């Protein structure tokens, strides 16, 4: 192989190297853009910030320290003209809800754009394991209430007729 051929091969390898480096850089830029577009959620420090974010369906995280539970909210974005909010029970505090065993469960709630409220306040707009378990607790409590007050309920029904 002559000097001319060696020089030509070196130039060819240099071009290939530049193409590979540029391809890797473009791939890295695409990955960074996708991350910041789809997976980067800002954090709200108060309910006012969350309310604004939910009303406009901006991707956001918020932790609500309620008296009986700590809820985590993640606004996932829009789907079919509705704002999707993931609700997760982060911690059950001592109280009357009996939801300690639901810690870590989540549900997705769908609200019309422009609506902003605590998503777990309307379980009819939600679906997921947390919703199912919360409904089970409500049904169990209702059953206990009815059984405990069956006599009084019967008396009230008889007096109404």
> What are the sequence ranges of the domains in the chain?
1-40, 42-151
Retrieve residue 46's tokens.
């108060």
Low-confidence ranges of the chain (pLDDT < 50): none
Residue 39 pLDDT: 63
Reduced to 3 states, what is the DSSP secondary structure of residue 151? helix
* pLDDT given at position 26: 85
> At which residue do the structure tokens 């769908």 appear?
110
Q: What is the pLDDT of residue 35?
A: 65
pLDDT at 73: 96
* CA neighbor of 82 nearest in space, from 59, 122, 112: 112
Spatial CA neighbour of 75 closest among 51, 58, 99: 58
User: Burial code of 59-94, b = ≥16 C-beta within 10 A, e = fewer?
Assistant: ebebebeeeebebebbbbeeeeeebbbbbbbeebee
Task: Quote the pTM value.
Answer: 0.69
**pLDDT of 38:** 61
- The reported pLDDT for the residue numbered 7 is 65
Three-state secondary structure call for residue 61 = strand
Query: What is the percentage of the chain residues whose pLDDT exceeds 90?
Result: 48
Tell me what the pLDDT averaged over the chain comes to: 86
pLDDT in tens, 114-149: 999 999 889 999 999 999 999 999 898 898 888 888
User: CA–CA distance from 44 to each of 26, 120, 150 (Å)?
Assistant: 32, 18, 47
Which residues are within 8 A (CB) of 68 and not within 5 positions of it... i.e. 6 or more apart?
A: 92, 93, 95, 96, 97, 99
CA distance linking residue 106 with residue 118, whole number of Å: 14
Output the CA–CA distances (angstroms, integers) from residue 30 to 33, 34, 89, 117, 143, in the order listed: 5, 6, 34, 35, 55
């Amino acid at each position: 192989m002559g000097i001319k051929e060696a020089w030509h091969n070196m130039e060819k390898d240099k071009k290939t190297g530049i193409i590979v480096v540029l391809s890797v850089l473009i791939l890295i830029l695409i990955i960074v853009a996708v991350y910041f577009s789809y997976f980067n959620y800002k954090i709200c420090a108060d309910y006012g910030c969350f309310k604004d974010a939910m009303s406009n369906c901006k991707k956001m995280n918020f932790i609500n320290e309620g008296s009986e539970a700590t809820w985590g909210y993640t606004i996932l974005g829009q789907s079919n003209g509705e704002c999707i909010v993931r609700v997760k029970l982060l911690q059950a505090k001592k109280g009357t809800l009996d939801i300690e065993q639901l810690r870590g469960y989540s549900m997705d709630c769908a609200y019309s754009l422009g609506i902003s409220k605590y998503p777990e306040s309307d379980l009819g707009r939600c679906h997921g394991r947390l919703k199912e378990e919360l409904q089970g607790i409500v049904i169990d409590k209702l059953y206990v209430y009815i059984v405990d007050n069956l006599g009084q309920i019967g008396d009230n029904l008889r007096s109404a007729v």
